[in-house]
Structure 1
Amino acid sequence: MRDRPDLAAMTETLSRALVEAERPVLAEHGLTMWAYVVLLALGDRPLRTQAALAESIGADKTRIIAVLDGLQGRGLIDRVPDPGDRRARLLSLTPEGRRVRDAARRGIRAMEERVLARLAEEDREPFLRALRTLSALAPGFP
């Protein structure tokens, strides 16, 4: 086996660089990383509770309240009482939330394409396929 850096060392370096490259793109749309994560997680799915959202994105449910307040204040999400549990709130994207999410995603994808262009054309799809496979393992890994 050839010597190589540990996977964590390689992916952490790449992850930090990608996060830093995303910050200006998100700032153009008035989003923080957590706000973008929330918009992506809500997607076009049915309504979900704040607790379920927090769990799905790996955030403490009390820590995302300020993010949700900001998104709601901008008209990007709706929060309505859950008819089955008036203490819970159901979340959904507004049309403006979808527009902002999609615009931010397009900007991030354009930046990612510039990164992927550093790979040989024949290496891009195998790299993305391997990354998808390994990323899918993450919640239950090791």
Structure 2
Amino acid sequence: MDVPGSDALLPAVLRNRPSFVLLRLAALSRQHCADQLSSVGISQHQHGILCCLQEYGPACQRDIAARLSIDSGDLVAFVDGLQKDELITRQRDERDRRRQILSLTPAGARMLRHIEDLLDASEPGPLEVLPEDQRQEFLAAATLVLAHHAPDTWGEPADRSGVPVPAR
């Protein structure tokens, strides 16, 4: 029996393997987000840096690199671009001249609000095929798994408004 498009169909063993499915979904989601951010000339790592500075205040480059799991050497290029666009400032720490302290500028805060509006408008992105209740369940389940494996970085699982999700 000839199935239309069957030459491109992934093997069933892969389509039924959760790790493979999640990797493909992550790639799809990452590309969707990258497309939105590229429209304002920001990378996903740069967005993460702006988010850190907005939420936690001025911080040294090394701390931001560790928080976002970005190699500190790679972080420099992302920071250079943000500084060039006057979205952040970078200054030597007076107490330890080896450290660079990053701060969000007012222009950076405005850009971050614009980015968040842009991302909010593009949600639910690849998950649009799911009804809202299933999207919320998926988010809660994914967050629960991530919080279980990395509680230091994910904290307690919470809904989008920050309300903790009870363990099941």
**Structure with greater strand share of residues:** 1
Q: Does 1:27 align with 2:38?
A: yes
In structure 2, what is the equivalent of residue 18 of structure 1? Answer: 29
In structure 2, what is the equivalent of residue 130 of structure 1? Answer: 141
Report the number of matched residues.
138
Gaps of 5+ in 1: none
* Cα deviation code 1:74-131 (max 9, x no counterpart): 1101111112211101112111112212212222232222444321233222222112
More RCO (CA 8 Å, sep 6+): 1
In structure 2, what is the equivalent of residue 69 of structure 1? Answer: 80
Moved more, 129-138 or 113-122: 113-122
CA contact (8 A) 1:37 1:57 kept: yes
CA contact (8 A) 1:44 1:93 kept: no
In structure 1, what is the equivalent of residue 110 of structure 2? Answer: 99
Gaps of 5+ in 2: 1-12, 152-168
How many percent of aligned residue pairs carry the same amino acid? 28
In structure 1, what is the equivalent of residue 57 of structure 2? Answer: 46
Corresponding residue SS for 1:29: coil
* TM superposition score normalised by structure 1: 0.84
Q: Does 1:57 align with 2:68?
A: yes
Q: CA distance change for structure 1 residues 138 and 109 in 2, over 3 Å: closer, same or farther?
A: farther
Corresponding residue SS for 1:86: coil
Name the CA distance, whole Å, in 1 between partners of 2:67 and 2:132.
34
Amino acid across the alignment from 1:94: T
Moved runs in structure 1, 4+ residues, more than 4 A? none
Tell me the CA shift for residue 70 of structure 1. Answer: 1.0
Tell me the CA shift for residue 31 of structure 1. Answer: 0.7
Tell me the CA shift for residue 53 of structure 1. Answer: 0.8
Name the CA distance, whole Å, in 2 between partners of 1:59 and 1:75.
21
Q: CA RMSD in A?
A: 2.0
Name the CA distance, whole Å, in 1 between partners of 2:62 and 2:27.
27
Corresponding residue SS for 2:79: helix
* TM superposition score normalised by structure 2: 0.73
Q: Does 1:8 align with 2:19?
A: yes
